[in-house]
Structure 1
Amino acid sequence: MTMFLIFSAVLVLMFIGVTTAVTMGFASIATFLFAGGDISRLFLVPQRMFAQVSGITLMSIPFFLLMGNLMSVGGISKSLFGFGRVCLGHRWGGLSNAAIAASIVMAAMSGSAAACAAGIGMIAISEMTRAGYSRSFSCATIAAGGALGPIIPPSITLILYAGLTQTSVNALFEAGAVPGLLLGFAFMAWSSFVSYKNNYAKEAPSPYSARWQAFKEAFFALLTPVIVIGGMFAGFFTATEAAAIASLYVMLLGFFVTKTLKVKDLPRIFWETVEQTAKVMFIIATAGFFQFVLLYTRIPQETIAFITTNFSSVTPVLLLIIALLVLMGCFMEGTAILLISVPIFVPLAKSFGYDVIQLGIVMCISLAVGVLTPPVGLNLYVMASITGEKVLEIAKDCTGYVLIMIAMAIAVAFIPELSLTLSTLF
């Protein structure tokens, strides 16, 4: 009953426009008092909030946000899409494949779904529609490419999961690499199939001289994920250090290579990063007290006891987790869902002996589906704001990509080699 009241309160407050952080904070305090908590112990609210955001793992978030903001004006997405276009444009769905390939590289830089979609969308949409692709399919493809941002390392979602579960960030990044790349390739295959079916135009093959020139233009941008991911996997620096180094590198690219970044742009970029960081950290902070309330009301323990009594294997539990996350993603923002669900799902999976790293990737993919599903799908609104296309039209063309992501979440849930092989090797 208490859990039902919590989720009802959260949904109602979000539907009437209350921000995620305030919603979680209000619901936590109300639940604590409703469950018989002493009002004099509300001093725990600021204490738990501070403790939740004081971990060193979360220090990487502002740097990754800064890197994404720097990329949006640094001309990097243009060079990446141009390189993908000359290499893949002659195939069925060549431009859509180029957009997805550029999104994969962008995802390996920013870790954000919206940053990937916005960065590639502003460049690729006009090119794809000019080549004969329908505008809604072009938007859907780029929105799906952006959905790779929270999956392919460095992922802000995985950083949050690591902070909540006290798990190694590097281990999660290593586990997310293969599923993220497989999803990208599956998206390419689907977009090629749709392009063939609808007879979208192919471009003439580009000469190797043009490919070499495009590669030279994109070379320094392509080095960014090598610096970030390669440096972490090789043990040269932590996720936080990688984010700081990559932010500086992207800034230097904007100043001296692409020459599209100006000193006058920096105050605005820094301020946007501060605002975004404050929003994310406020949500994480309120989640600290929310987790305390869940433990106080014994909701995770009761949930585990109920499910372990009624289910003898982990299979239906995993399917239930995926279904709940996908459904909740239709109505709530992914960060809020993660912060609400981790205190319940992680102990539940542990009770069946399920690997926490593997569960993190399953949850990450399932949550990423939410950026493509209305009414809350973030990437749908990003693309609609860029192009003026109707959200429901974009969502309709996202159906194939959504089904692929759900299938991948299920595959990762039951085939541990997909996520744990690379992590084990490193």
Structure 2
Amino acid sequence: MIAMLIVMLILLISGVRIAYALAISVLFYLICYSDMSVMVLAQRISVGADSIVMLALPFFLLAGELMNASGITERLIRFALSLIGNVRGGLSFVVVITNMIMAAVSGAAIASGAAVGSVMIPAMRKQGYPDSFSGAVNAVSATIGPIIPPSVGFIIFASVSNASVGKLFIAGILPGILLGGILIINCYIIAVRNKFPKGEKLSVTEIRESFKDAFWSLLMPVIIIGGIVSGVVTATEAGVIAIIYGLIVGLFIHKTLKLKDLLSLFIRSAKATARIMIIIACASAFGWIISREVDPQLIVDTFSNITTNKNLFLLILIAVFLLLGTVMEGGSIMIILTPLLLPVVNSMGIDIIHFGVVFQLAIMIGLVTPPVGILLFVISGTGNIPVPQILKSIVPFYISMLIALLLCVFVPDLSLVLVRLFGGSII
């Protein structure tokens, strides 16, 4: 098994895509260290993709594409600008707030980062903000996407842990708002220290008009989250409703979406779904080999010998997640490690929903951590800002993310209070 891990790391360092690196390392193990047929790889990849929970994934990805094509980003930015007023560093607040609202539409960090960054980085550059700061705040704010529901990450976690997708969605609301709030405080401190420009104060009429323009965009998260919280729909059904709503808004209300645009949107969503699914399927095969070769009780005993304190256990895991996040994609980490860690999580009495939120927050930091940090490259390409330049201003934002993560570890109710409040109504 160690040889399999070494092969995977060598392939990743060599620049091989994560899905192929996982599949090739499993194939290497089956040929060299097992008497099983190589057909096991194909079988496990098929099993990894065969999950009823994963049905929600393409629906929410398509819903995000439809809303973006309907001009949601510009409307939300205008509304956020009207709320901020003439606060110093106001444009950076707008980046965070817009990403929080976008999170409740697409649930994907890369989509949010690209959509918001393409508009806000040029605007911040025009106002005199340093490119390094603009790139850093846009990259880190996009990590809120997979925390506030609907969340692609929570769908993946639910598929391998059998946790409730609906409860995970609800559990992510407060941590996502907390992270956004801490980022805004950080932006304000940096803005005051560096005397960044102030925003423009708008009249009540302008605020009202921007709200009216963004109303249908703001209503979508209410429909999705409200349907899940009330127990009326499952997460998958909410995704279907989001698509129907997106089509109605884009075609008949905003009228910015044309029928001829739909084919390209469907193709983009299909490609995005395929990219995620092949990673999930190959990671599932990789994780199956590891879980087959490692005795779960051995893992439980190992951690029990280290600590029986659940908070210390979570801190150790966070260190592991952060380390892996520098070289691996977050979904792969989740699929590979979750089956191994669940016996320990259960033995220590950690709520599976709380664990899922902490896990998701931890791997989000990997999205902005080199060398694999995908969001760094997305924002770099979107805003034409070199990655090393973004890294010059990103350290304070790392601290903000760690503070939010540690608060969720030591205050489990941040994740669980809404789940307890709505109880059995969530599917």
**TM superposition score category, shorter chain reference:** over 0.9
1:230 aligns with: 226
TM-superposed deviation, 1:34: 4.6
| TM-aligned CA distance change 1:301 to 1:355, over 3 Å | same
Q: Which segment is superposed worse, 390-399 or 95-104?
A: 390-399
TM-superposed deviation, 1:14: 1.5
> Which of residues 108, 116, 119 is equivalent to 1:112?
108
2:199 aligns with: 203
2:61 aligns with: 65
Give per-residue Cα distances to partners, 1:231-286, cap 9 Å, x unaligned.
11111211111111112212222223333222222211111111111121112222
Give per-residue Cα distances to partners, 1:339-383, cap 9 Å, x unaligned.
122122222222222111111000000000011111111111111
| C-alpha separation in 2, matches of 1:308 and 1:319 | 14
1:26 aligns with: 24
Counterpart of 2:98 in structure 1: which amino acid?
A
> Which of residues 85, 88, 92 is equivalent to 1:92?
88
User: Counterparts of 1:267-286 in structure 2 under 5 Å?
Assistant: 267-286=263-282
TM-superposed deviation, 1:53: 2.1
The alignment of Structure 1 onto Structure 2 pairs a total of residues equal to: 422
| C-alpha separation in 2, matches of 1:130 and 1:399 | 24
| C-alpha separation in 2, matches of 1:46 and 1:202 | 57
TM-superposed deviation, 1:162: 0.5
TM-superposed deviation, 1:107: 0.4
Report the secondary structure of 1:353's partner residue.
coil
Task: Please tell me whether residue 241 in structure 1 is matched to residue 237 in structure 2.
Answer: yes
Q: Which segment is superposed worse, 340-349 or 151-160?
A: 340-349
- Kept after mapping to 1: 8 A contact 2:113/2:379: yes
Name stretches of at least 5 consecutive residues in structure 1 with no aligned partner.
Answer: none
TM-superposed deviation, 1:203: 2.5
- Kept after mapping to 1: 8 A contact 2:99/2:144: yes
2:336 aligns with: 340
Task: Please tell me whether residue 399 in structure 1 is matched to residue 395 in structure 2.
Answer: yes
1:219 aligns with: 215
2:425 aligns with: none
- Kept after mapping to 1: 8 A contact 2:291/2:340: no
TM-superposed deviation, 1:311: 2.3
> Which of residues 129, 139, 143 is equivalent to 2:139?
143
TM-superposed deviation, 1:182: 0.6
Counterpart of 2:4 in structure 1: which amino acid?
I
Identical residues among aligned pairs (%)? 35
- Kept after mapping to 2: 8 A contact 1:284/1:339: yes
TM-superposed deviation, 1:223: 0.5
- Kept after mapping to 2: 8 A contact 1:294/1:300: no
- Kept after mapping to 1: 8 A contact 2:49/2:277: yes
- Kept after mapping to 2: 8 A contact 1:76/1:221: yes
2:169 aligns with: 173
2:347 aligns with: 351
Name stretches of at least 5 consecutive residues in structure 2 with no aligned partner.
Answer: 423-427
- Kept after mapping to 2: 8 A contact 1:329/1:373: yes
> Which of residues 23, 32, 35 is equivalent to 1:38?
35
Q: Which segment is superposed worse, 264-273 or 211-220?
A: 264-273
Q: Which segment is superposed worse, 286-295 or 357-366?
A: 286-295
TM-superposed deviation, 1:305: 2.3
Report the secondary structure of 2:392's partner residue.
helix
Q: What's the TM-score, normalizing by structure 1?
A: 0.95
